Amino acid sequence: MLDFATNAARSVLGHISIGTVEHRVEQLAPIEERLHEAVDALHRAAESLEHNVEVGDKLAESLPALTEAVTRLSDQLAGVLELAAPVEAAEREFSSGLGKLLHRRRKPSADARA
């Protein structure tokens, strides 16, 4: 029974010459090289993705503190605007009064007299 299996294997292998096998292996070498390059590219992409996830996590961790700081800033700006309102009103009044004062002092021009 073992002879039958051995003879069958020799028959199949006898049809495939060593040259044919070497030729097929040589044809597969460039494919194997490209496959290795593709696997390396996938590893680099995975590492990059992991780095981006880490950055996203750090950003998410910093958002509550940033939100709190922006809220405090908004509150402070509201206070500053309340303090600036009287100053703005005084400035507007001064500007209006200065305009009236300068308007009264202006002498009529020759065109205006004619």
pLDDT, tens only, 73-101? 999 999 888 888 888 888 888 877 766 66
The mean pLDDT value for 50-78 works out to 95
pLDDT of 49 > 90? The answer is yes
pLDDT value of residue 63: 95
Query: Residue 56 has which token pair?
Result: 């996203």
pTM score over 0.75: no
Which residue ranges make up each domain of the chain?
17-105
Give percent of the chain with pLDDT exceeding 90. Answer: 39
Q: DSSP states of 59-103 as a string?
A: HHHHHHHHHHHHHHHHHHHHHHHHHHHHHHHHHHHHHHHHHHHHH
pLDDT value of residue 110: 59
Higher pLDDT among residues 9 and 65, named by residue: 65
